[in-house]
Structure 1
């Protein structure tokens, strides 16, 4: 079992936001490196506390692939891109499969940081489904659903799934 804390994963709108996140991470002991390619040949780089950063353009599938690979290997990622663009949504979705993704500098809006799978699960739980039923309806394994809900609990800063659902309902934007 990995005892390392989760590496940070941030998608921000501007270079200034990225600088603010990188300064905070440096104070927490992370080493920033530009670009998303990892020079270290070892697979697990989580113990090295490396955070890779850079801009991801609308058609930059190579940068998305490298950023997601780096995150899977345990590196932190701070990407500057438009979160509402197709590339930004793809990056957030792919990073979200690894763990929680913070959108913005401080993760102040947990609902905005949720990936679509988490939103769908929380909506189903709010409607009265069990986690198992919600997982089946969303074509997820129970283990993946439990992981996504645990990540949502961490984003909301609560201990129970019920508290996460209530926090989600209070904070989400009306549709």
Structure 2
């Protein structure tokens, strides 16, 4: 299941996203600190939200995402903290910047995932694509697995085909 990860600029944008997620069955809670003792909270369908105000809240938001919670963070994306948050969250999985209405054909992939899929679409092996992008083979495989999850497919071949189809739009 694809975990929601949103970085928005205003509280109103966060409210829009949170209402849509609540309609889809997600539980929302303000604060990025996880109350559950278990490490993996992905089965809880929990979305944490709040304003990013310092490095500590960036750390908490990224940790929550890594533990399987959805995240809706309010911060100016072009600020230093915003760029740090986007970079760190993108390592966990795809991040949506701003409000997305669910009808967009935009790729739900990080730049790194797009680069890997582009190389695979051009006939490179995963090992060659990883080397060309200065990634370990293990990291490249994890990014491709995240891309498969984000695109809703089960095989790398299907991910590459979905990437090609969506890229052309």
Kept in 2, the 8 Å contact 1:18–1:79? The answer is yes
Moved more, 96-105 or 64-73: 96-105
Tell me if 1:29 matches 2:25. yes
Structure 1: gaps of 5 or more residues: none
Structure 2: gaps of 5 or more residues: none
Deviations 1:95-137 (A, max 9, x none): 12222222222263634x5323224324434555332211112
- TM-score, normalization by structure 1: 0.77
Paired residues in the alignment total 164
Tell me if 1:162 matches 2:160. yes
Tell me if 1:131 matches 2:131. no
Selected match of 2:94 from 93, 100, 104: 100
Q: CA deviation at 1:48?
A: 2.0
Q: 1:161 to 1:31 in 2, by over 3 A?
A: closer
- TM-score, normalization by structure 2: 0.79
Q: 1:115 to 1:84 in 2, by over 3 A?
A: farther
Q: CA deviation at 1:32?
A: 1.1
Q: CA deviation at 1:43?
A: 1.6
Q: CA deviation at 1:162?
A: 3.4
Q: Give SS of 1:87's match.
A: helix
